[in-house]
Structure 1
Amino acid sequence: MSFPAACCNTPPVQASYTPVGAKQAIGGIECYVSGSKDAKRGVIVNYDIFGMHANVVQLCDVLAAAGYYVVLPDLFGSDALTEAGLGNAGVFAAFIKGPGSWAAVKDKYVAVQGYLRDSGIEAVAVVGFCWGGKMVVRALAELDGLAGGAIVHPALIKDGDMATVRAPLLVLPSKDEPDFTVEFATLGGKPFFKQCGMVRFDDMHHGFCGARGDWSKPEQAKRVNDAVKLLVGFFNTTTASRQ
């Protein structure tokens, strides 16, 4: 199971952003919601290990501006991992097995997906960053009705994980993630393989699209924009096939 060293020893970048969306309770879960409910396509965003960071909120607004109704659930709530805990191997391992486990967040995924369906959203995709990438893979393996999922500088991916997905997958690793060539090849026999894709960002560090991205630096901002274009293109294709 892969978890980049940067996840355990690099703090998030301090960033400020004024959201255009709003907070909303969905199934008892505090969420950030952005976009028009008149949209017919939705995206569930799974943040990285640092939770509701300004960068991921901004990405939600960017996806919303592309025509999606976007929901960012606060999957950790009061159980969020602190920076001190991140640097403690024992605390971190317990967190991943507890509040950060698929068992702990699955029902929240189901609640948000149900909310989107009941709101008239015809196709729902998912995207996850770092730890969230692992959750997206599990969601694509276990939940029915998802149009596809993207994992950006994913962590905790183990051999055989990608083979379990039941919807198209887009993989966007950074230089700090393993070579997923063999793992990605396990998707080759899937009927939706032509909709899958993998693009490496070997000039970027782990977390550049999430809480560890310093978007005041032009080179990082450009690559984040490149990643967003790939995400939107992928979502446009996969959700269109479900409408």
Structure 2
Amino acid sequence: MAGPQCCAHPPTLNPSVGAGHVEKVGGLDTYVSGSPDSKLAILLVSDVYGYEAPNLRKLADKIAAAGFYAVVPDFFYGDPFAPDNAERPIKVWLKDHGMHKGFEDAKPVIEALNSKGVSAIGAVGFCWGAKVVVELGKSSAFIKAAVLCHPSFVTVDDFKEFKVPISILGAETDQLSPPALLKQFEELLASKSEVDSFVKIFPKVAHGWTVRYDVEDEAAVKSAEEAHGNLLEWFAKYVK
């Protein structure tokens, strides 16, 4: 299921970008932004390009400015996907960086946040990260709300066990989660009266648009910012 769109428009990684800083959280190098005294945290789970992507860190800073403690762990241990490495195409890279391992690695991060006094955690996943967030959302013990942005590897069956409020933000042009699949997600979630859900398909954008947009493209920035606003509204409603 990892197609060309999964890796399109790679960001220029920058370890020093952002208003926050990197520290160890739950054993992982993690970009953190916002007040460490906040009782509300948002876990951002990146796409295959990892936690040094500038637009991702910019979004973490925006989430922090809304009053949350934003944490972006390096689930790839310094080994994000490198599209120019012909010896490790995406399918080979994924063998070393499976989503289930990401889910297991997220647990100590959540434990570390809880141990420092955080009372509620939300999680947003992008592409690869969406599958990790889906696994977290199958138990209300981990997170209180979830947002998926242009998910990869997520299936209808994943939502049968889902336990927390979920917002799914998808693209009109997306081979990994096309609108028809998102409609199936929406129908299944609508049948679960105990789980609040929201599904939105953004027109004229492609997979990856929320964090891999061109900052010089006014329309792309506007679409990304609309999605960012939607996810902040969701977390403001359910992570409190």
TM over 0.5: yes
Is 1:23 equivalent to 2:22 in the alignment?
yes
**Residue among 165, 168, 188 paired with 2:190:** 188
**Structure 2 CA distance for aligned equivalents of residues 113 and 207 of structure 1:** 25
**Residue among 103, 107, 111 paired with 1:110:** 107
Where 2:137 maps in the other structure, the secondary structure is helix
> 1:182 deviation in Å?
1.6
**Structure 2 CA distance for aligned equivalents of residues 74 and 145 of structure 1:** 18
Where 1:199 maps in the other structure, the secondary structure is strand
> 1:98 deviation in Å?
3.0
Amino acid at match of 2:238: T
**Structure 2 CA distance for aligned equivalents of residues 79 and 18 of structure 1:** 18
Name the residue aligned to 2:91.
93
Name the residue aligned to 1:201.
202
Name the residue aligned to 1:49.
48
Q: Which segment is superposed worse, 222-231 or 11-20?
A: 11-20
Where 1:172 maps in the other structure, the secondary structure is strand
Amino acid at match of 1:220: A
Amino acid at match of 2:92: A
Residue by residue over 1:133-168, the C-alpha shift from the partner in whole angstroms, topping out at 9 and shown as x without a partner, is 111111112562410110101111223122221111
> 1:100 deviation in Å?
2.7
Q: Which segment is superposed worse, 134-143 or 34-43?
A: 134-143
Q: Note if contact 2:10-2:49 (Cα within 8 Å) is conserved in structure 1.
A: yes
TM-score, length basis structure 1: 0.87
Is 1:130 equivalent to 2:131 in the alignment?
no
**Structure 2 CA distance for aligned equivalents of residues 113 and 70 of structure 1:** 12
Report the CA distance shift for 1:39/1:192 in structure 2 as closer, same or farther (over 3 A): farther
Q: Which segment is superposed worse, 115-124 or 61-70?
A: 115-124
Q: Percent identity?
A: 26
Amino acid at match of 1:184: E
**Structure 2 CA distance for aligned equivalents of residues 31 and 138 of structure 1:** 20
Q: Map of 1:123-162 to 2, 5 A cutoff?
A: 123-142=120-139, 144-162=141-159
Residue by residue over 1:12-41, the C-alpha shift from the partner in whole angstroms, topping out at 9 and shown as x without a partner, is 144778411111012321000001122221
Between Structure 1 and Structure 2, how many residues are aligned? 233
Q: Note if contact 2:99-2:128 (Cα within 8 Å) is conserved in structure 1.
A: no
Unaligned runs of 5+ in 2: none
Which structure has the highest strand share of the two?
2
> 1:68 deviation in Å?
0.4
**Structure 2 CA distance for aligned equivalents of residues 237 and 60 of structure 1:** 18
**Structure 1 CA distance for aligned equivalents of residues 203 and 137 of structure 2:** 26
Report the CA distance shift for 1:43/1:205 in structure 2 as closer, same or farther (over 3 A): same
Unaligned runs of 5+ in 1: none
Amino acid at match of 2:192: K
CA RMSD of superposed structures (Å): 2.1
TM-score, length basis structure 2: 0.88
Is 1:168 equivalent to 2:165 in the alignment?
yes
Where 1:111 maps in the other structure, the secondary structure is helix
**Structure 2 CA distance for aligned equivalents of residues 13 and 74 of structure 1:** 16
Name the residue aligned to 2:215.
215
